[in-house]
């Protein structure tokens, strides 16, 4: 179900918990699906003893993918025209992530309504781990 | 500039969506109302990242006959005795991290199609890190095109190489 542009207002906020207590298994699952097997994400021995991190940590693209799930659940399938942002902090096993989209603009061009969103994903300490923006074509 | 073939497979989309805990049937069930509404199974927004699976030279996948840098008998395949210095995949003991990712979607990607991937380098720049050490940024632009040449997704990625391990 696509978002109805008639009901949408600038400033509207949609938010969703996209992962609760991130597991190492989910990070490994993402490694397998994406093909990025960098051991800093999947290999605790390597991550701690060789790379010097406190543990493995999630791929930035896992965080962005989870954030994308919030967006597609909100705007509807196949609606996004743009989605991008910056990885602003690492995501660790045990983290809980809350992703949000805030309507920043609604534009109509040739009968096509495009909504723009500020996007942010924060962890359980309210630290932003991903910040960016997205656009979606609405009905 | 590289060009490669990226077959969009339904099972791959399903596995990728599962890794994101996304149980939307548009990613696995062609007979679902969700898939019918968009003309079949489509890929989630960050799926093109998984084109790495089809890049024969992708460096972050173990390959037959090559030493892998993850742990085995020792903490790194590149360490032959305990306590020797290793590297973490970056140069000079630093790390390469993903700093930014941006996508432009020209249309949805559909299961069953085959995309062509072409990558070219963008800008490079340097910045002083907050915790000391120079950060080296590099941009790469990837175009995913359909068989008829139609541009489907444009991706812009920024990587950062640090001179030291990064911690929050």
Q: Which residue has the higher pLDDT, A88 or B164?
A: A88
User: Is A33 close to B16, i.e. CB distance below 8 A?
Assistant: yes
- Domains with residue ranges and CATH for chain A: 5-138 (3.10.129.10)
Range of the domain at B68: 2-162
Q: Are A5 and A80 in contact (CB under 8 A)?
A: no
In A, minimum Cα distance to B160 occurs at A87
Asked whether residue B167 is assigned to any structural domain, the reply reads: no
pLDDT tier, B78 (very low <50, low <70, confident <90, very high otherwise): confident
Chain A segment 39-68 residues within 8 A of B by beta carbon are 39-40, 42-43, 45-46, 49-54, 59-62, 64-66, 68
Predicted local confidence at residue B91, as pLDDT: 36
pLDDT at B97 over 90: no
Handedness of CA B119, B124, B129, B133 (dihedral sign): positive
Interface test with A, best of B14, B49, B51, B97 (most A CBs within 10 A): B49
| Helical axes A24-34 vs B10-19, angle rounded to 10° | 160
Separation of CA A117 from chain center:
13
Chain A segment 65-94 residues within 8 A of B by beta carbon are 65-66, 68-69, 71-73, 77-78, 80-87, 89-90
pLDDT, one tens digit for every residue, chain A (139 residues): 678 888 999 999 999 999 999 999 999 999 999 999 999 999 999 999 999 999 999 999 999 999 999 999 999 999 999 999 999 999 999 999 999 999 999 999 888 999 999 999 999 999 999 999 999 999 8
Asked whether residue B100 is assigned to any structural domain, the reply reads: yes
Asked whether residue B109 is assigned to any structural domain, the reply reads: yes
Q: How many CA atoms lie within 13 A of B94 on its CB side?
A: 16
Asked whether residue B131 is assigned to any structural domain, the reply reads: yes
Report the residue from B18, B45, B60 with minimal CB separation from A72.
B45
Q: CATH number, domain at B76?
A: 3.10.129.10
Predicted local confidence at residue B79, as pLDDT: 72
Predicted local confidence at residue B43, as pLDDT: 98
pLDDT tier, B165 (very low <50, low <70, confident <90, very high otherwise): low
Predicted local confidence at residue A111, as pLDDT: 85
At A58, list the tokens.
Answer: 């999630």
Nearest chain A CA: its distance from B49 CA (Å): 6
Tell whether ipTM is more than 0.85: yes
DSSP secondary structure of chain A: ----GGG--TT-EEEEEEESS--HHHHHHHHHHH----HHHH-HHIIIIIS--SS----HHHHHHHHHHHHHHHH-TT-EEEEEEEE-S---TT--EEEEEEEEEEEEETTEEEEEEEEEEE-TTS-EEEEEEEEEEE-
CA distances from B59 to A27, B69, B103 (A): 18, 10, 22
Q: Tell which residue, A130, A137, A135, has the closest CA to residue A100.
A: A130
Asked whether residue B168 is assigned to any structural domain, the reply reads: no
In A, minimum Cα distance to B26 occurs at A77
A114: contact with B, CB 8 A cutoff: no
Asked whether residue B59 is assigned to any structural domain, the reply reads: yes
| Number of domains observed in the structure of chain B | 1
């Amino acid at each position: 179900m696509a978002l109805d542009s008639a009901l949408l207002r600038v400033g509207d906020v949609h938010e969703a918990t996209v992962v609760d207590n991130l597991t190492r298994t989910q990070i490994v699952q993402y490694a397998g699906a994406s093909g990025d097997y960098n051991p800093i994400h999947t290999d605790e021995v390597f991550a701690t003893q060789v790379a010097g991190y406190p543990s493995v940590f999630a791929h930035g693209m896992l965080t962005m993918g989870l954030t994308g799930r919030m967006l597609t659940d909100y705007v509807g399938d196949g609606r996004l025209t743009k989605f991008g942002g910056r990885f602003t902090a690492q995501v660790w096993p045990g983290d809980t992530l809350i992703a949000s989209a805030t309507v920043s603009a609604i534009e109509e061009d040739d009968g096509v309504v495009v909504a723009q969103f500020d996007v942010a994903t924060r962890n359980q300490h309210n630290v932003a781990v991903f910040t960016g923006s997205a656009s979606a074509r609405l009905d | 500039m590289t060009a490669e073939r990226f077959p969009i497979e339904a099972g791959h989309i399903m596995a990728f969506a599962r890794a994101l805990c996304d149980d939307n049937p548009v990613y696995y069930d062609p007979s679902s109302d969700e898939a019918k509404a968009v003309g079949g199974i489509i890929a989630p927004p960050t799926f093109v990242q998984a084109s790495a699976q089809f890049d024969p030279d992708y460096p972050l996948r173990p390959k037959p006959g090559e030493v892998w840098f993850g742990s085995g008998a020792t903490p790194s395949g590149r360490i032959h005795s305990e306590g020797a210095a290793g590297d973490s995949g970056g140069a000079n003991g630093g790390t390469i991290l993903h700093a930014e990712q941006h996508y432009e979607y020209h249309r949805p990607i559909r299961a069953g199609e085959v995309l062509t991937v072409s990558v070219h380098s963008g800008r490079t720049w340097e910045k002083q890190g907050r915790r000391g050490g120079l950060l080296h940024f590099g941009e790469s632009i990837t175009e995913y095109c359909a068989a008829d040449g139609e541009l489907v997704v444009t991706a812009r990625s920024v990587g950062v190489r640090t001179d030291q391990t990064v911690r929050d």
